[in-house]
Amino acid sequence: AQSVAQPEDQVNVAEGNPLTVKCTYSVSGNPYLFWYVQYPNRGLQFLLKYITGDNLVKGSYGFEAEFNKSQTSFHLKKPSALVSDSALYFCAVRVVYGNKLVFGAGTILRVKS
Amino acid sequence: EAQVTQNPRYLITVTGKKLTVTCSQNMNHEYMSWYRQDPGLGLRQIYYSMNVEVTDKGDVPEGYKVSRKEKRNFPLILESPSPNQTSLYFCASRTSGGRTQYFGPGTRLTVL
């Protein structure tokens, strides 16, 4: 069975500091991994994905994520946080050729000025 | 503009009154799915459809029905809504071989 864990309900960061939002996953087989962001009263926006190849994936708004197969992790990072990055972030996993996208519970990111 | 649309965006209803939430995509995607979002649980898949007339249950299908008569539309039907179906609902779509799902804006449903 597929599962995703986002161990932190909330991450607080000062503006200008680096941020990390953690995600670990469990699948049987090779994974596709995704990060989505949800701003208040908005739908989910796609940020980035890992399919294959380079373990460091770059996405929208300056975000990046590193796929670590041995640790089954896909942490979201940004070198310098902005107040406008404050939102709810979801990690998701899908098995290659699978039909189901499984989401983590979400992590609230709060960036304070 | 490529998009997934949902209607209505907000709905307050009463227990037992049948309702339908519509979902439409203009990207010619084969795969469509419905999710519900609840605090602390993330998004959970309700139903999905691989193509016209092909649907299957997700993780939380109880109390919901779907149909896929046309490629672009994938309505979610609640025959007899109950308060535990109060949630935020998202429709999503992708191509059959695609890796990324694109989400609609969400429908906030309250069942009293």
- For the stretch B23-75, pLDDT in tens is 999 999 999 999 999 988 989 999 999 999 999 999 999 999 999 999 999 99
Going by their DSSP bridges, the two strands A73-78 and A64-68 should be labelled as: antiparallel
Nearest-Å Rg of the Cα atoms of chain B is 13
Closest C-alpha to B95, from B28, B44, B45: B28
B34 at interface of A, judged by CB pairs closer than 8 A:
no
Q: What is the pLDDT of residue A97?
A: 67
Q: What is the pLDDT of residue B53?
A: 94
Strand locations in chain B (E): 4-7, 10-13, 19-25, 31-38, 42-51, 54-57, 65-66, 76-78, 87-94, 102-103, 107-111
B22 confidence band (pLDDT: 50, 70, 90): very high
CA distance B15 to chain A (A): 25
End-to-end CA distance of chain B: 36
CB contact under 8 A, A99 and B31: yes
What single letter denotes the amino acid at residue A10? Q
Cis ω before B39 (30° cut-off from 0): no
- Name chain A contacts of B33, Cβ cutoff 8 Å: 101
> CB-CB: which of B31, B90, B100 is closest to A43?
B90
Range A7-18 average pLDDT = 97
Q: Is the pLDDT reported for residue B98 higher than 80? A: no
User: Quick check: B103 and B6 in contact, CB under 8 A?
Assistant: no
B40 at interface of A, judged by CB pairs closer than 8 A:
yes
Q: Is the pLDDT reported for residue A38 higher than 90? A: yes
Interatomic CA distance for residues B65 and B70, integer angstroms = 16
